[in-house]
Amino acid sequence: MIMTHPGLPLYWAYAIGIMMLLLGLLTMAIKAPTTSASRSISLAKLPLIGDLFRFLAKYTWPLLLLKIIFAALFITVITAGLWGTPIVERNLATTLTWNLWWTGIIIAIVFSGSAWCALCPWDNIASWLVNHSIWRRSSSQSRLQLKVPNMLRSVWPASLLFIGFTWLELGIGIVASPYATAMLALLMLILATTTLALFEGKAFCRYMCPVGRTVGAYSQLAPIALRPIDSEICRNCKTLECFHGSDKIAPCPTKIVMGRLQENTYCTSCGNCTQSCPSSNVSWQLRSPSSEAIKEAKPHMDEAFFLLILLSLTLFHGLTMLDYWEGYLSEMAQLINDSGQLIISFSIGLGVTLILPIFIYCLCIGLTQGLLKKRLGAMVTKLSFNKLFSGFAFISLPLAFSYHIAHNLTHFVRESSDWLSLVTNPLGTGAEPLSMMEKHTRHMEMMVSENTLFIMQGIIIAIGFVIATQVIRHRGHRLFAAQGITLLPMILFAALVTGFNLWMLVQPMTMRM
Ligand code: SF4
Ligand code: SF4
């Protein structure tokens, strides 16, 4: 029997619906300020905690220790997946990967930006294997340092891998197999190691890793980022060690000059620049949340597609956990005579969910372009569809991020595993599957009360819409001189996605494990 979790009470959907209506009208009525500097403060300059952040930037061993702990956890997951019990809820590989890690790294972005990438065991183990060094600049000749081919120099490889992994995860059912989970983790390690051995820099992190690109994209919303402590020092810097590296410390793996860094997307928080900068001028900075998504990040077409694919796949994850999805699968299977694992029916559903939001987004962009042409006439001739498409794509970020967190909170809060027995017996040796009674008890014993969960979910979805309207208002005004009714199509897009997110949260949701 499939157990489900109750959905968000309907009154939350009505309350957020009214808020969307009012905020949509306000967004059209009030112009975005033409000059509004983002506020930020370096954590290294703060009293009390400033010393801690300076310490973390100066010494390598705290980060190295964390890297080793995460690498050890990764090896435990692989061991448990390959040699442990196939019972999904009794094996550390599946519970840690799908229940804790995938939810945890997304929530962690709010508090630590792209810090996960610094701890990522795929990249760290690959670096240790290829560079033969655990921290210092390597003199190893085992890297070919080839130029990354032009066809790979975009985030399309990461987008395609993301779609492929979603197909494997939900279509083939990797989530329900410790062995397949371990094989997928190993495949990523092989990819990271091979690309590191072949290409210069970190081509895997920059262009291919769907997790890294997701963390990078979402960290444009984060209120915390690595930045220069004093930008004047960077302006006068001639040596750029943060970019080139020093005798002992490797260069920036994603070719960033810290003094010119405007967006978090490709910073992996690796800490090389905090070590190599001769002026010790790099530390964590607190800044206005979402400022990059709202105005600072530069639009690029491949990244715009990645953001929209991220939104579509996030919606798809939610959709597959509703009762309707099972109904769709069996009806489609009957229609096309799909038998067995219903892979064709699943793939059609995935394809439609992937394309539909992008198609609706294109329609809204087309409408915006039409309205702008009418309003601005000859001035708008340079305003191509592509410019509008990439400029407004940042609205996908808060919409995807808010649903991603709200949805996963249900799994996290309602499906907390018996971590003590999993830690003491990660392979699940001799363990029995959860009985119906145990499943029911787990379902009832939530980490926070049901009402607290609903309040958190409602607020998160509302914040997602608020940020999306800010993106529309600022980007519309600054990039395209759009205001008033010309912003309506994009506001409708944000409202439609938020409405769909709310509808999914209101439905009962299938328990994952
Ligand atoms: S971070 Fe350091 S090395 Fe990089 S530009 Fe600034 S002062 Fe120069
Ligand atoms: S070296 Fe580059 S990737 Fe690493 S923390 Fe500095 S800017 Fe980010």
**Distance from C-alpha of 406 to C-alpha of 454, rounded to nearest angstrom:** 9
CB atoms within 10 A of CB 491: 23
Distance 276 CA to ligand 2 centre (A): 10
Query: Does residue 234's CB lie within 6 angstroms of at least one atom of ligand 2?
Result: no
- Which is the closest atom of ligand 1 to the Cα of 234? 6
Measured by CA distance, the residue closest to atom 5 of ligand 2 is 269
What's the confidence (pLDDT) of residue 182?
96
Ordered mean pLDDT values, 10 residues apiece, the chain (513 residues): 78 90 86 72 86 84 93 96 92 90 88 92 94 75 85 94 92 90 95 94 93 94 91 92 89 90 90 91 89 87 96 94 88 83 89 96 93 74 83 95 91 75 86 76 75 92 93 84 84 95 90 63
Q: Which ligand is nearest to the CA of 240?
A: 1
What's the confidence (pLDDT) of residue 379?
61
53 contacts 45 by C-beta, under 8 angstroms: no
Distance 281 CA to ligand 1 centre (A): 7
Distance 237 CA to ligand 1 centre (A): 6
Measured by CA distance, the residue closest to atom 4 of ligand 1 is 242
What H or E segment, with its residue span, contains residue 129? helix 121-131
- Which is the closest atom of ligand 1 to the Cα of 282? 1
Q: Which ligand is nearest to the CA of 278?
A: 1
228 φ, ψ to 5°?
-60, 145
Report how many helices (DSSP H) and strands (DSSP E) the chain contains, helices first.
24, 5
117 contacts 215 by C-beta, under 8 angstroms: yes
305 contacts 159 by C-beta, under 8 angstroms: yes
Measuring CA to CA, which residue among 306, 98, 158 is closest to residue 220?
306
Residue 466, amino acid: V
**Distance from C-alpha of 64 to C-alpha of 78, rounded to nearest angstrom:** 21
Distance 165 CA to ligand 2 centre (A): 27
Q: Which ligand is nearest to the CA of 270?
A: 2
Q: List Cβ<8 Å contacts ≥24 apart for 25-30.
A: 26/469, 27/469, 27/472, 27/473, 27/487, 27/491, 28/483, 28/484, 28/485, 28/487, 28/488, 28/491, 29/484, 30/473
Distance 398 CA to ligand 1 centre (A): 31
**Distance from C-alpha of 229 to C-alpha of 279, rounded to nearest angstrom:** 10
94 contacts 181 by C-beta, under 8 angstroms: yes
**Distance from C-alpha of 49 to C-alpha of 52, rounded to nearest angstrom:** 5
Measured by CA distance, the residue closest to atom 4 of ligand 2 is 270
Compute, in degrees rounded to 10, the torsion defined by CA atoms 434, 97, 65, 204: 170
Ligand 2: residue of 258, 262, 264 to mutate (most ligand atoms within 8 A of CB) is 258
282 contacts 227 by C-beta, under 8 angstroms: yes
pTM strictly above 0.85: yes
Which residues form the pocket of ligand 1, taking CB atoms under 6 Å from any ligand atom? 228, 233-234, 237, 240-242, 257-259, 273, 277, 279, 281-282
Place of tokens 């402590």: 229
106 contacts 406 by C-beta, under 8 angstroms: no
Measured by CA distance, the residue closest to atom 3 of ligand 2 is 267
Ligand 1: residue of 232, 240, 255, 272 to mutate (most ligand atoms within 8 A of CB) is 240
Query: Does residue 272's CB lie within 6 angstroms of at least one atom of ligand 2?
Result: yes
Distance 116 CA to ligand 2 centre (A): 13
What's the confidence (pLDDT) of residue 512?
64
Q: Which ligand is nearest to the CA of 239?
A: 1
Query: Does residue 258's CB lie within 6 angstroms of at least one atom of ligand 2?
Result: yes
Compute, in degrees rounded to 10, the torsion defined by CA atoms 411, 360, 215, 448: -20
Distance 178 CA to ligand 1 centre (A): 45
What's the confidence (pLDDT) of residue 2?
63
